[in-house]
Amino acid sequence: MKTDFGQEDFAEFCQANRPAYHAGYYAMYSSWWDGITTDPNLMVVPVDDHMVHRGDGLFETFKCVDGAIYNLAAHLDRLEGGARTIALELPWSRADVERIVGAVLRAGGRRDALVRVFVSRGPGGHSANPYECPRPLLMVLAIRLPPPFMEAHPEGAKVGVSGVPHKDGFFAQVKSVNYLPNVLMKKQAVDAGLDFMLGFDKNGHMTELPTENFGIVTADRVLRVPKPGHILLGTTMLRVLELARRQLVPTGVLTGVEEADVPRAELEQAAEMLVFGTTPNVTAVTEFAGRPVGAGRPGPVWRELSRIFEADLRNPEMLTPVWPR
């Protein structure tokens, strides 16, 4: 162990340390130095940042597909709303954030990428006192965009029941970096050989997956998702519900779209189950708690929802261009 590790040592480390997973890290901006790096070894966060040692920060994840960001306004609305909720004053305008996001994507050199925007209370000490941080910190990261779940797994997803206590009320509705329950749910899924775990609140009503929203289609073709206040309102789920009300209810594919308390017993009778998220898009669940869902294959409502959502991914009104087309 070197006890006087300095800048030259760090530069030598950066040259020697090139793990394979770094290939998926394209570019990062940090307001700490107000610049963009494409060296993954420099994509770092100060250890005294409240995001690191207190989980005091927010984040958003969205995707750039073929040179344009999908549904950016909804993500920035949620980021700004979360900042107001936790009394974190943002010194950057929305235009500033959009400009930085575009610059990071172009620096990363990929037309397809996943973008993470982090806003923390900032560096400035190691206590829980937020007032010791002189200013917030903004970080924007462009990384590899994984393929949609159904593209890699056309047979559909397997979902189990999580025993991890659910984040309820206030904490369920803020997209903070404090994701320990979510991480434990994902660990449960991986350990069990499943794709996702579904949480339930203290009253036995379904909530959400580790990083995705969840819904069911009843036998009488009602698309049902949990009530607001019990879950993080995902941008993909909200957009899918809007599209379903506008396009699938009038045509009779669905008879309704509802936000409701959904007990475990109702899930056992569901005709279809669905996952909504930035990376999985709309995913069909074909196995729940070890039993087939419906016929055990992706169903007709999933096919229609997936079709209209894929079309929406190319809707100019939903896109913020980053690269010339």
Task: Specify burial of residue 82 (Cβ count, 10 A radius: 0-12, 13-18, 19+).
Answer: buried
Give CA–CA dist 182/270, Å, rounded. 25
Under CATH, which number does the domain 23-143 receive? 3.30.470.10
Is residue 202 among the annotated active site residues?
A: no
Q: Which of 134, 135, 95, 100 is nearest to 117 (CA)?
A: 100
Structure tokens at 29: 């901006």
What CATH number matches the domain at 149-312, 3.40.50.970, 3.30.1490.480, 3.40.50.300, 3.20.10.10? 3.20.10.10
pLDDT for 171 equals 84
Torsion of CA 167, 171, 176, 178, to 10 degrees: -50
Domain-by-domain residue ranges, the chain?
A: 23-143, 149-312
Give CA–CA dist 56/121, Å, rounded. 6
pLDDT for 15 equals 84
Structure tokens at 64: 């750039």
Question: Please, which contacts does 321-325 make with residues 24 or more away whose CB atoms are closer than 8 Å?
Answer: 321/67, 321/68, 322/64, 322/67, 322/68, 322/69, 322/101, 322/102, 322/105, 322/106, 323/67, 323/68, 323/105, 323/106, 323/111, 324/67, 325/66, 325/67, 325/68
pLDDT for 99 equals 97
Q: What is the mean pLDDT of each run of 10 residues along the chain (325 residues)?
A: 89 88 97 96 95 96 97 98 96 97 98 98 94 96 97 97 87 92 96 97 94 97 93 97 98 97 95 97 98 96 98 97 84
Question: One of 167, 175, 186, 187 is an active-site residue; which one?
Answer: 175
